[in-house]
């Protein structure tokens, strides 16, 4: 699957108006859509229809969206985009930690939604093609040789800095929570040691950013985590 016209999207949303809006807007942009009006139907359709991506509303009548995210994640590895009227950071963090890949707060524009879905598709394609080279603007990372380049000059990074960077690359253009990063790099016993992240992200920014105070690559998602900007859209879609 390399473009949206082939991708099948499962929309789990109880509000008929939002569902209709999503289906109309996304069908128009070339996605194939299946709908589910509650969590139970969503889980059933996940099995029978085998979608490529899921859009999930957090406030469902039968199963809480966070619980549903965990259940989906338990059985399938497809990208999950959360849609929610709940804008607090805590909800975003909970959803992302439960295994969601991204989060969009209502109200949102279709352009924004399309951009988020494309980022998720690029992630699938990146995993499937197991690209050995990541490129975003002047940043180039050779994942096979574990080497980092900025404008073709090699940048020396420590093993921990590299680990952080490679996790962000795996989720390029998507937010990764503090907890996810701390857990993957330092282990479960350090998930509250936010200062580790501040120190190492600071170091990475000094090495990779022209102006570390105004980063172009290693972006802060305030209160939630970090996002690596993916400025190379060539592996994405052009049919927008």
- The residues of the shown chain that bind Ca ion, judged by CB under 5 A, are 14, 57, 59
Q: Judged by CB, which is closer to Ca ion: 30, or 59?
A: 59
- The side-by-side arrangement of strands in the sheet containing 102-105 is 32-36, 8-12, 53-57, 80-84, 102-105
How would you write 128-154 as a 3-class SS string?
A: HHCCCEEEECCEEEECCCCEEEECCEE
Q: Which is nearer to Ca ion, 60 or 141 (CB)?
A: 60
In whole angstroms, give the CA distance from residue 66 to residue 82. 9
Shortest distance (Å) from residue 86 CB to Ca ion: 10
Q: In 10 A of CB 79, how many CB atoms?
A: 23
Is 149 within 8 Å of 155 (Cβ atoms)?
Answer: yes
Tokens of 218: 């290693």
**The tokens of 86 are what?**
């709940």
Beta bridge partners of 33: 9
Nearest distance, CB of residue 224 and Ca ion, angstroms? 22
Q: How far is the CB of 69 from Ca ion (least distance, A)?
A: 14
By beta carbon distance, the residue nearest Ca ion is 59
**Residue nearer to Ca ion on the CB measure, 14 or 193:** 14
- Rg (Cα) of the chain, in Å, rounded? 18
Nearest approach, Cβ of residue 79 and Ca ion (Å): 20
**Dist. CA 226–CA 184, nearest whole Å:** 14
Task: Indicate the residue among 14 and 138 with the shorter CB distance to Ca ion.
Answer: 14
Listed residue (73, 53, 189, 180) closest to 121, CA to CA: 53
Min CB(205)–Ca ion separation in Å: 38
Shortest separation between residue 37's beta carbon and Ca ion, angstroms? 10
Considering the complex, state which of residue 65 and residue 225 has its C-beta at the smaller distance from Ca ion. 65
Nearer to Ca ion, 49 or 64 (CB): 64
């Amino acid at each position: 699957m390399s473009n949206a016209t082939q991708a099948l999207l499962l929309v789990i949303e109880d509000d008929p108006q939002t569902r209709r809006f999503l289906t109309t807007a996304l069908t128009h942009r070339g996605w194939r859509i299946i709908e589910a009006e509650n969590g139970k139907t969503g889980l059933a359709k996940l099995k029978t229809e085998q979608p490529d991506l899921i859009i999930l509303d957090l406030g469902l009548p039968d199963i809480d969206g966070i619980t549903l995210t965990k259940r989906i994640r338990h059985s399938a590895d497809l990208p999950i985009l959360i849609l929610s009227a709940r804008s607090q950071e805590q909800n975003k963090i909970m959803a992302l930690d439960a295994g969601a890949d991204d989060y969009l707060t209502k109200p949102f524009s279709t352009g924004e939604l399309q951009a988020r879905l494309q980022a998720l598709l690029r992630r699938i394609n990146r995993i499937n093609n197991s690209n050995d080279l990541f490129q975003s603007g002047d940043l180039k990372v050779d994942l096979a040789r574990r080497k980092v380049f900025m404008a073709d000059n090699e940048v020396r990074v420590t093993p921990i800095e590299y680990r952080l960077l490679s996790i962000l690359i795996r989720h390029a253009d998507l937010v990764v929570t503090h907890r996810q990063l701390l857990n993957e790099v330092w282990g479960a016993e350090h998930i509250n040691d936010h200062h580790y992240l501040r120190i190492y992200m600071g170091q990475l920014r000094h090495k990779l950013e022209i102006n570390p105070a105004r980063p172009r690559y290693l972006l802060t998602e305030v209160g939630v985590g970090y996002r690596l900007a993916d400025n190379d859209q060539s592996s994405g879609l052009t049919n927008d």
